[in-house]
Amino acid sequence: MELLELLTSKIFLALTLLFSIGLFLALREVFCWYYKINKIVDILEKNQKIQEQTNVLLQELNNK
């Protein structure tokens, strides 16, 4: 009897953990969409590339 209770307890904990992870991943995408975090990251990455190009051009001007 104790073995069955222990086994069901472990199965229940494993299922709860899997459900919690799945729920976290699903809600994470919703929060990122709602707060536009993905869009903000894209804009910041574009700004970084533009800044790097500007730095290269400024270095070339300084070297002339």
What pLDDT is attached to residue 1? 60
Query: pLDDT of the chain along its 64 residues, tens only?
Result: 676 776 788 888 899 999 999 999 999 999 998 999 999 999 999 999 999 999 999 999 999 7
Of the candidates 37, 55, 57, 35, the residue with the CA atom closest to the CA atom of residue 47? 55
C-alpha to C-alpha distances, 34 to 13, 25, 38, nearest whole angstrom: 31, 14, 10
pTM listed for this prediction: 0.60
